[in-house]
Amino acid sequence: MYQKILPFLSFVVIAITTPVFAADYKLSKPEEVGLSSERLINMDRLIDEHVSQKKIGGAVVLVARKGQIAYFRASGLADSGKAMQRDTIFRIVSMTKPITSTAIMMLYEQGKLLLSDPVSKYIPEFRNQKVLVPQPEGSAFPYKLEPVKREVQIRDLLAHTSGILYLFLNDVYPSPGRNMVVQMYKEAGITDGFCRPDEAIGEMVKRLARLPLYAQPGEVWEYGLNSDVLGYLVEVVSGQKFDSFVEERIFKPLKMNDSHFYLPREKLHRLAAVWKSDWQGGLVRADDKPIVVGDLCLNPGDARAQSGKYLSGGASVLSTAYDYFRFTQMYLNGGELDGVRILGRKSVELMTATNHSGRFDAEFLHSKGWKFGLGFAIQQDREHAVDSGDIGTYEWAGIYSTRFSVDPKEQKITIFLSQTNPFGHHFELWDKVLVQSASAVAD
C-alpha cells in the first residue's frame, strides 16, 4: 500500500528562502510586532528535528502578530523528491469547518435564517426525528426510539450539539448507543466525508436526517457530521452550490487565491503528499488510495480529483498557510480584512463566545477547560489547559495533521500545516508549536 521513502529524506531539512513571494506576501521582522527572532529559532529546531527523525515528511509554519506575518517557514519534503514550499497546498480537512460556519453566519446576517431555526424548516427530512436509547442487557429489544424533545436547530449543527455522529470516533469512544447508531449509518451508506461518495451532498444529508440521533438535541457535545449538513443548508438557503458560494463570497473577497474544493489542474504539482508515520522513524509516502482503519476512511487521492458531487462542509477544502492566515486574520479583525467585510463584529463575537455549549467540554483534540463556539474550540480557562494560549484563544485542526490557533489577547495567529497520518501522534508537536509561538512574544 505504501512505497518506501527516498533515502535522502534523512538529511533533507530545508528552510526554504526561494520562491519569490507574490505581491500580497509581506513579511515583517519579528521585533516589529513584538516577537523575538532569537526565540523563534526554537521553532526552526523543533520542526527540523521532527523532519530529521523521520516523524514527519515536512511542514509549513506561519506566525503572525498585529496583522503582520513575522515567521513563515517551510521544512522537509512536500512529496518524494520535492521540497516543501511556503505555497504548498494542503488538505486542511476539518479546518474547513470554520469556513462553512462563516458561510452560515453570512446568511444569518442577510436575514435568510436564524440560528434558532429548526433545520427541518429548510431540510424537511429533519422533521419528526427520534433518539436511540439503548436498553439494558436481556431486554426484548436492544434499543428504543424516543421522540426528540425539541428539533435540531441550526445552532446545534454549528456547536456540535445535534446528536449527529462521526463514524470514525466510534473507534475512539465506543459505547452501546454509539455502536448502534454507527451501524445504522453504515447500513444507510453514510460516510464521514473523508472518502467522499460519488453522490451529491444533499442526498446523503437527507438519508442521515432519517436516522436516529445519538442524543437529544442540545444535551450532549459530540463531534460529528454537522458541518456537512451545514454545507447542504447553504445550498438550500442561498440557491447556490456550496463550493460556488464559498468561492464567490469568501475566497475571492479575501484573496484566498489558492483555496479550492477541487484543485485546478495547473496547481496539482503544488499539492503535498500524505505521509504515513509510526512516529519512531518509520515514514513512508502514502499511496493515493483509501486508507481504512476501523471506521476511519481517508483517501489522499481525492485531493487530485478535478471535480466531484460531494462537497463536504466538514472536510473538502484545500488551502495554503498564507490563505488560511488571511481567513483567520479576518476573524481577528472582527470580520474584516483589507477593507473587505465578510462578517459583522458582533457575529464574530457571537461565534467566539463559549456559552453555546453550556456545561459541555469540547474534549476532542483538547481537554477540560475548552468549549466549542460556532465553528471552533475556545479556551475558557488556564486551569486545565496550561500549555496553550490565553483565555479566549480559538482553534481547530484537521485529520491530516493541520492546525490553526488565534489568540485575540496577543493579536497572534499560529498555523501549522503538515500531511501526516495517523494524526494522533501530533498532539504533542502541535502543543509545542503553540508554546514556541507564545514564548516568542517579547513586548
CA distances from residue 162 to 100, 128, 152, 213, 225 in whole angstroms, order as listed: 16, 14, 6, 8, 10
d(CA 214, CA 223): 11
Residue type, 274: V
The pLDDT, as a whole number, for residue 296 is 83
CA distances from residue 19 to 9, 86, 88, 264, 304 in whole angstroms, order as listed: 21, 8, 11, 20, 23
CATH code of 294's domain = 3.40.710.10
The pLDDT, as a whole number, for residue 387 is 59
The CA dihedral of 148, 150, 153, 158, to the nearest 10 degrees, is: -70
Q: pLDDT tens digits for 230-243?
A: 999 999 999 999 99
d(CA 91, CA 337): 24
pLDDT tens digits in sequence order for the chain, 443 residues long: 333 333 334 333 433 333 444 445 789 999 999 999 999 999 999 999 999 999 999 999 999 999 999 999 999 999 999 999 999 999 999 999 999 999 999 999 999 999 999 999 999 999 999 999 999 988 999 999 999 999 999 999 999 999 999 999 988 888 999 999 999 999 999 999 887 778 899 999 999 999 999 999 999 999 999 999 999 999 999 999 999 999 999 999 999 999 999 999 999 999 999 999 999 999 999 988 888 888 888 888 888 887 888 899 999 999 999 999 999 999 999 999 999 999 999 999 999 988 777 778 887 877 777 889 999 999 987 665 555 678 899 999 999 999 999 999 999 999 999 999 998 888 899 999 999 999 999 99
Residue 305 C-alpha from the chain's centroid: 20
The pLDDT, as a whole number, for residue 167 is 94
d(CA 337, CA 329): 7
Q: 218 is written with which cell numbers?
A: 442540545
358: left (phi over 0), alpha (psi -120 to 50) or beta: left
Whether 400 is in a domain gets the answer: yes
Residue range(s) defining the domain that contains residue 140 = 88-408
Whether 209 is in a domain gets the answer: yes
Q: 273 is written with which cell numbers?
A: 503528499
Q: How many domains does the chain have?
A: 1
The pLDDT, as a whole number, for residue 384 is 56
Dump the DSSP string for 33-92: GTB-HHHHHHHHHHHHHHHHTTS-SEEEEEEEETTEEEEEEEEEEEETTEE--TT-BEE-
Residue 283 makes CB contacts below 8 A (sequence gap 6+) with 5, 9, 54, 55, 56, 57, 275, 276, 277
Place of cell 506576501: 25
Phi and psi angles of residue 9, each rounded to the nearest 5 degrees, phi first: -60, -30
d(CA 232, CA 385): 35
Q: pLDDT tens digits for 14-42?
A: 333 334 444 457 899 999 999 999 999 99
The pLDDT, as a whole number, for residue 12 is 39
Whether 1 is in a domain gets the answer: no
The pLDDT, as a whole number, for residue 24 is 58
Whether 284 is in a domain gets the answer: yes
Residue type, 237: V
Cis peptide leading into 422, omega within 30 of 0? yes
The pLDDT, as a whole number, for residue 386 is 55
